[in-house]
Amino acid sequence: MVNVAAANREALDRLCRARPAWTGVGLAREALGLAGRTLLHAGPPISWQQMCWPMRGAVRAAIMFEGWARSAEDADALAAAGEVTFAPCHSRGAVGPMAGIISPGTPVLVVEDRVNGTSAFSFIADGPWGHQLRFGAHGPETLAGLAWIRDVAAPAFQTVLEREGPIDLASLMAQALAMGDELHMRNAAATGLLARRLAAPLVAAVASTKDLEAILRFVARDNDQFFLAWSMCAAKAATRSIEGLEGSTVVSAMARNGVLFGIRVAGTGDRWFIGSASVVEGLYFPGFRASDANRDTGDSAIMETYGLGGMAMAVSPAVHKIVGAKSFADALATTQEMAEICVGANPLFPIAPLGDQGTPTGIDIRKVVRTGIVPKINTAIAHASAPRMIGAGIATPPLEPFVDALVAFGERYPG
């Protein structure tokens, strides 16, 4: 008979001892073994026909970036004809924010956790000029941004890592947490810490002054969420340590694709349990409202899977205002509620107002089903039919996938 308690303690141990480090950059073709006309996407499996507008836009961008088609119309036709293979990022140990499209020629971060012997991947970021693929943009600026990252920024990062060695993301994230980042919707401190770490070494790594200035502007100036790709990669590397862990009821992945919300559970391997993606409750930028919003999307819920983001609301007074939490007390209460559905807490991420208790870690589907409390996911909100972010908020995923997973777990481990 399976010892669920022991398996879940092991899951918690693995999550807590993970020490992800940024070890390299590469192209998805090599790093992920992406061959042929294959595109990875955020969330659980989905077909071209089912995809929401932002994901279709990102697919168009990726197809044109790869040269498989020369126009958005041709890209649509190619996808509709079944000429492109789609698979979740999670099926390759990768994660992608929002639409989360990764093509073979996409430059990706490589993050490794040597303690647990895992690795994970994410696309670096969108280019420095906005027009983000993750929100469905697919114009010439988006393609130029991707090419610039591939040809200029990514090689510079690789040179720095080769000279300086891996960058310890675990300690960087712990520091950032103490500076008010919950590392999902707020990565301002972490972005600053990464910029401080990279700035001087980049000088020696980049010959062209113009390129150097553009890279430093990209890393250091423009985007408080720059670090999110690193956060997600670190969280994926940590959570990969529990994938397939026999007898554990701990969630190993939560992800959305704008249509569907899915989870995977340690003890049931790579099987997805699926529900509808939720409507995000949030604060909208001026001029936008709920009826403009796409449903919840992106692999960034890996942050909550790892015990950060919405699980760690209490650390981040600044994020309360971004996602619309009512007050500091409300944020503390959210974290305390999340502790009710978790196996334990991660001492790497102490929460000062809660007496240095760690962030709630290891979502146990048994506790979710028993209490009816689902994980809160801090998230950006995409426009449903235009390539832009229109707000941020808190997604409350459906309970059904957790129930289905528990049923499947019972069938997998009878008695």
| Footprint on this chain of its own copies (rule: CB under 8 A) | 175, 178-180, 188-189, 191-193, 195-197, 199-200, 203-204, 209, 212-214, 216-217, 219-221, 317-318, 320, 327-328, 352-353, 355
Kindly state the smallest distance separating residue 191's Cβ from its own copies, in Å: 7
Kindly state the smallest distance separating residue 34's Cβ from its own copies, in Å: 33
Residue placing its CB nearer to its own copies in the complex, 74 or 224: 224
Residue placing its CB nearer to its own copies in the complex, 200 or 407: 200
Pairwise CA distance, residues 135 & 142, whole Å: 11
Residue placing its CB nearer to its own copies in the complex, 87 or 178: 178
Strand 107-113 to 21-27 pairing: antiparallel
Q: Strand pairing partners for 61?
A: none
CA distances (Å), origin 28, targets 46, 108, 123, 168: 20, 6, 8, 22
* Contact status, residue 295 vs residue 54, Cβ threshold 8 Å: no
Q: Which residues contact 402 (CB under 8 A, 6 or more apart)?
A: 263, 273, 365, 368, 369, 374
Residue placing its CB nearer to its own copies in the complex, 179 or 408: 179
Pairwise CA distance, residues 56 & 384, whole Å: 11
Residue placing its CB nearer to its own copies in the complex, 77 or 203: 203
Residue placing its CB nearer to its own copies in the complex, 175 or 276: 175
Residue placing its CB nearer to its own copies in the complex, 75 or 188: 188
Kindly state the smallest distance separating residue 218's Cβ from its own copies, in Å: 9
Residue placing its CB nearer to its own copies in the complex, 204 or 407: 204
Pairwise CA distance, residues 332 & 197, whole Å: 31
Kindly state the smallest distance separating residue 132's Cβ from its own copies, in Å: 20
Kindly state the smallest distance separating residue 212's Cβ from its own copies, in Å: 5
Q: Where are the alpha helices (DSSP H) in 221-252?
A: 228-240
**Residue from 301, 305, 310 nearest 239 by CA:** 305
Kindly state the smallest distance separating residue 135's Cβ from its own copies, in Å: 24
Residue placing its CB nearer to its own copies in the complex, 8 or 225: 225
Coil, helix or strand for 357? strand
Pairwise CA distance, residues 277 & 381, whole Å: 12
Pairwise CA distance, residues 206 & 43, whole Å: 36
* Contact status, residue 282 vs residue 320, Cβ threshold 8 Å: no
Residue placing its CB nearer to its own copies in the complex, 305 or 335: 335
Give φ, ψ of 289 to 5 degrees.
-150, 175
Residue placing its CB nearer to its own copies in the complex, 5 or 204: 204
Pairwise CA distance, residues 219 & 396, whole Å: 32
Instruction: Pick left, alpha or beta for residue 153 (phi over 0 → left; psi -120 to 50 → alpha; otherwise beta).
Output: alpha
Pairwise CA distance, residues 172 & 153, whole Å: 21
Kindly state the smallest distance separating residue 9's Cβ from its own copies, in Å: 28
Q: How far apart are the first and last CA of the chain?
A: 6
Kindly state the smallest distance separating residue 154's Cβ from its own copies, in Å: 18
Rg (CA), the chain: 20
Kindly state the smallest distance separating residue 197's Cβ from its own copies, in Å: 7
Q: Strand pairing partners for 262?
A: 255, 274
Pairwise CA distance, residues 118 & 125, whole Å: 22
Kindly state the smallest distance separating residue 209's Cβ from its own copies, in Å: 6
Kindly state the smallest distance separating residue 174's Cβ from its own copies, in Å: 11
